[in-house]
Chains A and B, each alone.
Chain A
Amino acid sequence: MNGLSNTQLVLLGTSLLGGVAGIIGSFAVLRRRALVGDLLAHSALPGLCLAFLLLNSSSTLGRAGGESASATHPWQFTVMLAGAFIAGLIGVVAVTLISRWTRTKEDAAIGVVLGTFFGAGVVLSSWIQNLPSASSKAGLQTYIYGQAAGMTREDVWFITAVSAACLILVTLLYKEFMVFSFDPGFAQAQGWPTLTLDLTMMGALALVTVVGLPTVGVVLMAAMLILPGAAARFWTDRLGRMLVISGLVGAGSGVLGTLISAGAFEETFGFDPFRFGYNTRNLPTGPVIVLCATSLFVLSMLFAPRRGVVAKFARRAAIRRRIQHDHLLRSLYELSEPSLAPGPGNIASMATPAEVTIAQLTEDRAWSAWRAGRLVRWANAHGLAQRTHGGARLTNEGLREARRIVRAHRMWELFLISGADIAPDHVDRDADSIEHFLTPEMIAQLEAELTAQRKLPSAPDDVPHSPHALSSAEQVRADQARADSARADGDGLP
């Protein structure tokens, strides 16, 4: 560590700090204890102030403290951090006691304790700033707002030691932390000392918070505990992977934020992609690191596969599209159904479906002509229907597909009428919302049940008759009116 330049030193410190905050913070996020990071960081402040006063009041310390603003002396540094650590833990214990022994709920207790401690801290710190003797009050500023650039070799040693200790802890107690975080009651019944585990987790959280204070400061440290874990949750459904990703996000934010605020991009590439017309060299490192973590969180929230917002919207849109396609095929089938009527000796699949006009489709589905036309063009492009002058006609392939869809729809309707005791004129829309999600196994099961009840046509794969009149558009409107009036009635109640 002695051979490192100042920037390298700061990089090492911030990346380690970001990584370990991400890993330890993940457990807080998963246990819905995200606010505890906030609590720890804020209640550390009066501890810092008291430790500072202690250092300044003792004469030997006063001389040493007068020389430099930042905590150059390891023991001075240690005393300040110990003060912060102890005050943070007192805050956590206070919340635990209040929520356990009074009617105050935990979130309210956190609010009370956090506010009280931080208020006391601010009063103490302003008092310190008015002290004539305190030439080193800048040291306190450092802890409140953070100053990564001023990181010393001792700071980095400390961060390295804490990171190593936390990593070992999480590796050793991975299974214990997992069962305790997921199901504390079960863990306790199984004989794990849950209070000790809880305190161990809190202790690690407090330790990380406290060593992070000089770098990112009191307020932003809480964010560094939560953001990486919250971001990582979007990328995976496994705890182990989440911890690794969270650590990487935290470390990445540390590196990126340090480089940006050190103006390293300009030095390396000749231009700074983050400059936006301003000089980034003078930006405070801590807040930039937090903003980098925020960016990674937002990116994860939007673009993570499966859990991301974009992926969710895409999935929903795909389902909506498929439902519309199903609806089109069913309408084409039902509107041309008379032409397909299977007579004696006339196998249904041999008949040619009649043409269905756009006007019929808009009437049947309450679609706009534009939407009906677009869906027909889709069916035409996929070989399921043939576009005609004023409408469309199912192709053989389309007929097969439509038959499958209509069959599922009507079997589901028949099942609802016989199995769930729903009136025939109500089943169409109920069936509508489910039929698109029926799996082949469920359809097979429906088939078996309905065959047993002799509700299906004798020819295999034949489409059963609709159990209700096929004027869905009218029915949709009637249902709508009924629902509206019901809602109006409901609103009228006191």
Chain B
Amino acid sequence: MNPSVTDADRAAAAATSARRAPPLEIHDMTVAYHRKPVLWDIDLVAPEGQLIGIVGPNGAGKSTLIKAVLGLAPLASGKVGIYGLPYSQQRHLVGYVPQRETVDWDFPVTALDVVMMGTYGRLGWFRRPGAAERRLAEECLEQVGMASYAHRQIQQLSGGQQQRIFLARALAQDAQVYFMDEPFAGVDAATEQAIVVLLQALRNSGKTVFVVHHELQTVRQYFDFVILLNLRLVAAGPTATTFTRANLQQTYGGRLTILDEAVEAVRLGEAPR
């Protein structure tokens, strides 16, 4: 047996499967904080090259879903695959926009500094960003219409502008799959439109974009595919067939099923006596 041939074969097979594997595949995932599950038994396969909305009521675990995929929330069980491989091997393919309130905007950095952070992952240990990274960051700022604010301290930007800086940082990550946690929160209508146009452009260039979204009215207009979430996966599929009254009712209330009650009991830590 010739080991080099096997290696080559394996590499080729991996490459093929990587091309075929979906951008996000979740199998039997449960996420728990302090041993209490906040997401329960999620099974999900998301299609490539679509704008995907993650929709559900407050506390449904929408952000947690993203965080669990990115390794920021502890998995109690289950598996997550990005193009068929664990996230830790696919970081370079993924861009991330956290919620705006998670950082201290008084931090002494400029808009350009923040956007350049998107390139840090590729740079690796110890290497400082150089002219190439700077140019890329400036281009990304340009794309979100913030080029003239490059040297502003980030506190001196409006909420919508801060959101666009975060978006530019994700663009600088130069990824295939993007996860965005409420990019429309606290943003004026004009900025929301600008962001939507940008997301559509990303989608049209073959990227897959996941967006945690609150406004039910705009879901049909914005997204090709929706993931309806309320502690469990309620439904996932093309918006036209999935974003239905019945599914929404199930997501946003209505009668509790036995399973829902069980989940709630575990969440509250109540044991039957």
Contacts and interface: CB of A to CB of B under 8 A. Distances in A.
Interface of A: 30, 32, 101, 172-176, 178-179, 181-183, 185-186, 188-192, 233, 236-239, 241-242
A421 B207 CA distance: 41
- 8 shortest interchain CB distances as A-B pairs: A237-B153, A190-B121, A189-B70, A189-B96, A191-B91, A179-B117, A183-B103, A239-B108
Nearest to A103: B34
B25 to A, nearest CB: 18
Given A183-B117, A186-B98, A242 B108 contact: yes
B162 interface: no
B128 A174 contact: yes
Nearest to B87: A189
A183 B108 contact: no
Given A172-B126, A183-B102, A233 B70 contact: no
B186 interface: no
B208 to A, nearest CB: 16
Contacts of B67: 185
A171 to B, nearest CB: 9
Given A183-B98, A186-B117, A239-B113, 7 more contacts: A30-B108, A175-B128, A185-B72, A186-B98, A189-B94, A190-B96, A241-B108
B152 to A, nearest CB: 9
Nearest to B170: A186
A239 B109 contact: yes
Interface string B105-119: 001111001100100
B129 A175 contact: yes
Given A185-B102, A189-B94, A191-B91, A178 B109 contact: yes
B96 A186 contact: yes
A237 B72 contact: no
Nearest to B105: A182
B126 A179 contact: no
B261 interface: no
A191 B90 CA distance: 10
Contacts of A192: 120
A106 to B, nearest CB: 15
Contacts of B71: 188-189
B128 A238 contact: no
Interface in B154-195: 169, 173
Highest count of chain B CB atoms <10 Å: which of A32, A190, A238, A241: A190
A179 B120 contact: yes
A181 B123 CA distance: 18
Contacts of A175: 120, 123, 127-129
B125 A189 contact: no
A238 B121 contact: no
Contacts of B120: 175-176, 179, 190, 192
Given A175-B120, A182-B109, A238-B109, A189 B72 contact: yes
Contacts of B94: 189
A190 B91 contact: yes
B104 interface: yes
Interface of B: 34, 67, 70-72, 88, 91, 94, 96, 98, 102-104, 107-110, 113-114, 117, 120-121, 123, 125-129, 153, 169, 173
Contacts of A185: 67, 72, 98, 102
A176 B125 contact: yes
Contacts of A30: 104, 107-108
Nearest to B66: A189
Contacts of A233: 108
B100 to A, nearest CB: 11
Highest count of chain B CB atoms <10 Å: which of A176, A186, A237: A186
Highest count of chain B CB atoms <10 Å: which of A183, A188, A238: A183
A96 to B, nearest CB: 15
Contact of B114 (A182, A188, A236, A241): A182
Contacts of A189: 70-72, 91, 94, 96, 98
Contacts of B102: 183, 185
B72 A188 contact: yes
A176 B91 CA distance: 16
B76 to A, nearest CB: 16
Nearest to B122: A190
Contacts of B114: 182
B103 A182 contact: yes
Given A189-B72, A190-B120, A182 B107 contact: yes
A30 B110 CA distance: 15
A190 B96 CA distance: 8
Nearest to B173: A190
Contacts of A239: 107-109, 113
A182 B153 CA distance: 13
Given A183-B98, A185-B102, A191-B91, A238 B108 contact: yes
Contact of A237 (B110, B121, B128, B129): B110
Contacts of A182: 103-104, 107, 109, 114, 117
A190 B120 CA distance: 8
A185 to B, nearest CB: 5
Contacts of B109: 178, 182, 237-239
Contact of A191 (B88, B104, B126): B88
A312 to B, nearest CB: 14
Nearest to A243: B108
Nearest to B127: A175
Contacts of B96: 186, 189-190
Highest count of chain A CB atoms <10 Å: which of B121, B128, B173: B121
Given A182-B117, A190-B91, A190-B120, A237 B125 contact: no
